[in-house]
Amino acid sequence: MAHLTKERPPLLAERLMRSVLRSDAQLHGVLGDLREEWARLRKTKSRFASDLWFWRQACLVYWRFRVEPQNTRSVFPKSGLDKFVADSANDTRLALRTLIKRPLFAAAAIVTISLGIGATTAIFAVVDGVLLRPLPYRDSDRLVTVSVLREGDRSVQRDMSPPDVADLKEQATSLQSLVGYQPRSVSITSGEDPVLINAARVSEGLLSVFGVVPVLGRDLTAEESGFGAPAQVVISHRLWSERFGLAPDVVGRSIELGSGGTPFEVIGVAPEGFEFPGNTALWMPHRFSSPTSCGRACHTWWTVGKLSPEASANSLDAEASSIASSLALAYPETNAGKGFAVETLQDQVVGPVRARLWILFGAVSVVLLIACANVTNLLLIRAYGRRHEFAIRTALGAGRGQLTRQLLVESLVLAIAGGGLSLAVASGLIELLKQTATTMLPRVAEISIDGSVLLFSTVLVLAVALLTSVSPTLHLSRVSPSENLGHAARGSGGGIVGRRFRNLVIGFEVALTVILLSGAGLLARSFERMYAVDLGFETNDVLRVTLSKGGTLDEVRTFYRTLEERISSLPGVESVGSIYGAPLGPGHTTAELRVEGRPDPEPGTETYAGVRAVSPHYLEAARIPLLRGRSLMASDDVDPLPRAVVNETFVRENFPTEEPLGRQVRVLTDQGYGSPTWTIVGVVGDIHSEAVTRGAIAELYVPHGHFGPGFMTVTVKALPGSPRLFPAIRAEIRALDPRIPLRHVETVSEAMSREAAPMRFLMLFAVLFAAVAAALAGIGLYGVLAYLVSRQVRDIGLRIALGAQAAQMTMRVLADGFRIVLLGAAAGIGVSILGGRVLGAFLFNVHPNDPLAMLAALAAIVLIGSAAMFVPALRASRIDPVETLRSL
Amino acid sequence: MALGDFEQLVLLAVLHLGDDAYGVRIVDAIEERTCRTVSRSALYVTFDRLEGKDLLESDLRGGDASRGGKKRRYVTVTAAGLEALRESRAALLGMWRGLEPVLREDT
């Protein structure tokens, strides 16, 4: 046991005792004795058990010497702090005792508070992690992005042209750096099975913009991008670890990319955690095929830059506008009507979800308010029950301050207990949020319950304690003891003022609930409408897989036609087609259009169309109906005369009064295989190709055999009820080309569900919060009515004894309840109608004042209200008059 | 001066222990004789209180390695303490007198 001599009891516990032991006698006596006993205990017990014993003694000593007033009073005069601690301790003990005596009341209040604070804390954690916290980069407030601003319709287009980026970078003094990049996925074909990773083509290395340096090698330079750029890459730390096992000699080794297996030399490794944009694993230079291949009309780059130390986003904005004007003068054919829009990187990353998150935060704050209202009412009701107690205490000399403090401490105890429980509610809700929002919420990994979130919930706890204690305190401390004693003796319903106040609080709750219910109803209706949209193409039993195949036009065409043939012979397959620019899928190209035989349009009056390259059977496989003329046929794929099919919107925009069939059009874009003049041979129906919530755009379907590209989405219409086809499809692809990676493997229903994710997210939580609010309001209403009935037992019993019907008494309670519900609901509907615009932007095909949603909210609250009134009303009707008379 | 129940136990234990009366020993003595667990913190505030009422005296001396350099607070009962004990005993005995048949356990 020699080692024991080195051991000593917990230092912190000793500190705790030292803080209250004053005299030498106490210090030596207490500390020495407890150490001696600890050492003795240690010979027979484990370290943990001994320490636990010591801590227990330390806490008791602390309590006795600091807090227990009666024991130390005679020995030590109390300081102000001691008095405060002792008084608060007494109040806390008293509060705990009173709450334990009423476990149901305490549980109801604590659960209500925990729901309110928990939900609010969870949404705050999301708001904080996503919106408020700066991006995790050095000088992140100086990171900006520049986009194209179309002055015609003030729309912002994210893609910039490389020459515009170069000019901005050179001329804008507010900018320290500006890099163009293009997120894309590439396949690593070095190993056995091709692996698809996120990559970014960059105009130069991104690392210096973010203030980080490579851990190995160096970053890409501006000279190493563009025409004739060397095949070099910088890889992420994660890729270095996963692919190269953190090999220190990775720089100089090569990695094969793309279906062609082109070797790229690794020249650097980014530091751990740097994966901008998104989860990029690899940065490669833009490698243009010719010096002029991407000019000012070629919009392909997103940008990220860093402001000079003294510049601001506004100063850059002003500079960019003047640069845009001079570019418009110098290059009118490409830059007329083109401006630049500057926003901070943080705004760009979180902008799309900002409004949605604030709406959720608003909704959850309303839930918290309802929870507070409920607890206030519970406390008020209890306060009336305690008038007698307070009256006696006042009569015995308790000051108003003392009583106020006690009520506040009681609220605080409830709020702290609720706050503690709320952390469980919050972490559960955060998990749910993270799971439902992974695809639509940026920075999900950064959401956590950290210091600032805890601080926020602590503030909420204090606020709830204050808010819920104010009105009971006012009511109790205002009335004189004699009056209170009188009331208590008569045992009546607690005064007209108190009753009105309680009704007001419940009415307020009902109104807030109706606002949440109608908002949730509107979102649910939108969601339903979204799924009810006829998209114009087949969505059931359709599977898709996107492939990227390199090679000549002939090779690409042969590959896809062979693949389509092989897949169509699989059992369970009804038809197969391929498309570049699949609806709700990847690879959309919108290009400027020229109609043959018409003069070139004035700048600003150009028309655009979505260009979709399709295989001969695609339109048939996707069930896009032919309206006039003929569809594309297998022969069109190889026939020297290029033919195309357009949709209704195309006809409406370009040939409103003319016959489109037989007309010739050109599009000013190509996929590396040229872009011929197309002769229109047919018109097909419109489809929602870009998004469910967006209408059709003009579309031009051209034969894949003429236009390319190698990037196609193979679309398979399966027979209903056929088994999973993906393994068989994958096998066919592998048989044709084992190196080609499969992207976006999904059914059309999955694509739709992804589309609907943001709305589903908002709706889900709106419905959840509305449901919690409705439940709380129901409980609140029940509490108030049940209390009223219980206080009026004698009154009601007397009336029944004097000849009133039991049914009349039921009606009285119901009338009381319904008056509150209907007035509250009317107020709620009024606010919903006035504030409907807030939700307007998130609704789809539903008016913000949709009567059905309002009626549904009304019906729901009436239903909940009736349920809450049922038991109290029944009780009122069953009061026994004989029993009442006997008790008089 | 009226003594509390616990105060009496402490003073009696100190008398039993004689020269060896300090915290740990007193706890052991009371626990052994009464079969009740003694709260250490209560004991220490009781020391202070009894000393404040001049019923007990204490001095610091001795100590060993297990006390980490802290001395022992040896306590002795003062004359006033003895007097208070006598009074308590008399009062209690006065109250007990005549009640033995009622409280005998085998009845």
Provide the CATH number for the domain around residue B97: 1.10.10.10
pLDDT value at residue B107? 41
DSSP designation for A160: B
More confident residue, A298 or A169: A169
**Other C-beta atoms lying within 10 Å of the C-beta of residue A886:** 9
Rounded-to-integer distance, Cα A493 and Cα A787, Å: 9
pLDDT for A859 equals 93
A26: contact with B, CB 8 A cutoff: yes
Chain B residues touching A37 at Cβ < 8 A: 24, 27, 40
Comparing A67 with A637, which gets the higher pLDDT? Answer: A637
Q: What ipTM score was computed for the predicted complex, to two decimals?
A: 0.91
User: Residue B45 pLDDT > 60, yes or no?
Assistant: yes
Percent of chain A residues past pLDDT 70, beyond the cut: 93
pLDDT tens-digit series, residues A196-217: 888 998 888 888 899 889 999 9
Structure tokens at A307: 């402001």
Render A372-441 in DSSP notation, one character per residue. HHHHHHHHHHHHHHTHHHHHHHHHTT--HHHHHHHHHHHHHHHHHHHHHHHHHHHHHHHHHHHHHHTTT-
Spatial CA neighbour of A493 closest among A385, A389, A390, A407: A385
Average pLDDT over every residue of A451-479: 84
The domain locations on chain A are: 2-77, 81-139+351-491, 153-336, 495-533+749-888, 550-736
Indicate the pLDDT class of residue A489, thresholds 50, 70 and 90: very low
Nearest to B67 among A32, A68, A74 (CB): A32
Q: Write the residue in A29, A64, A75 that is nearest to B23 by C-beta.
A: A29
Least confident of A78-87, A171-180, A195-204, A227-236: A78-87
pLDDT band at residue A807 under the 50/70/90 scheme: confident
pLDDT of A417 above 50: yes
pLDDT at residue A266 is higher than 50? yes
What's the whole-number average pLDDT of chain A?
85
Q: How many CB pairs under 8 A join A and B?
A: 86
Band the pLDDT of A888: cuts 50, 70, 90: low
The rounded distance, in Å, linking the Cα atoms of A728 and A742 is 13
Q: Residue A830: its pLDDT value, please?
A: 92
Band of the pLDDT at A133, cuts 50, 70, 90? confident
In the DSSP assignment, the letter for residue A29 is: I
Predicted confidence (pLDDT) at residue A188 exceeds the cutoff of 80? yes
Task: Say yes or no for a CB contact (<8 Å) between B68 and A26.
Answer: no
Quick one: three-class SS letters along A104-137?
HHHHHHHHHHHHHHHHHHHHHHHHHHHHHCCCCC
Please say if the pLDDT value at position A450 is more than 90.
no
Measured between alpha carbons, how far is A512 from A514 in angstroms, rounded to an integer?
5
CB A2 within 8 A of CB B38: no
Is B71 within 8 Å of chain A by CB? yes
Boundaries of domain holding B61: 5-103
Residue ranges of B 78-107 with Cβ closer than 8 A to chain A? none
Percent of chain A with pLDDT over 90: 33
- Sort B98 into a burial class: Cβ within 10 Å, 0-12 / 13-18 / 19+: exposed
Selection from A2-11, A49-58, A815-824 with the highest mean pLDDT: A49-58
Residue range A577-594: average pLDDT? 86
| DSSP string for residues in A841-875 | TT-SSS-TT-HHHHHHHHHHHHHHHHHHHHHHHHH
CB contact A79 to B (< 8 Å): no
Q: Which of A316-320, A378-382, A671-675, A767-771 has the lowest mean pLDDT?
A: A671-675
Average pLDDT of chain B to the nearest whole number: 87
Q: What domain count does chain B have?
A: 1
pTM value is 0.70
Does A5 sit within 8 Å of B49, measured CB to CB? no
